[in-house]
Copies of this chain bind each other. A is one copy, B any other.
Amino acid sequence: MSTMARSATTAPRQRSLTLVTAPPTATVSAPVPVSTVRRRAAEESTVGGVKSVTSALDVLDCFLDAEELGVSDIARRLGVAKSTAHRLLTSLSARGLTDKNPETGHYRLGLHLFELGQLAGDRMRLRRTAIPLLEELRQLTGCTVHLGVADGSNIIYIERLEPLRGMPPMTAVSRRLPSHCTSSGKVITAFDPEAARARKEAGFPALTNCSIRTEADFDKARAEIRRRGVATNVGEAMLGFSSVAAPVLDSSGRARAAISLVGTTEQIAGNLGRSAQLVTVAARRLARSLGI
Contacts and interface: CB of A to CB of B under 8 A. Distances in A.
B119 A57 contact: no
A201 interface: no
B123 A67 contact: yes
A116 B115 contact: no
A114 B115 CA distance: 9
A52 B52 contact: yes
Q: Is the interface of A mostly helix, strand, loop or mixed?
A: helix
Interface in A116-158: 116-124, 128, 149, 151, 156, 158
B54 A91 contact: yes
Instruction: Give the interface size class of chain A.
Output: 35 or more
Interface string A48-83: 111011111100110110010000000000000000
A1 interface: yes
Contact of A119 (B56, B92, B175): B175
Closest 8 CB pairs of A and B: A117-B117, A109-B120, A49-B91, A114-B120, A53-B91, A53-B56, A57-B95, A50-B91
Interface of A: 1, 39-40, 44, 46, 48-50, 52-57, 60-61, 63-64, 67, 86-88, 90-92, 94-97, 108-124, 128, 149, 151, 156, 158, 171, 175-176
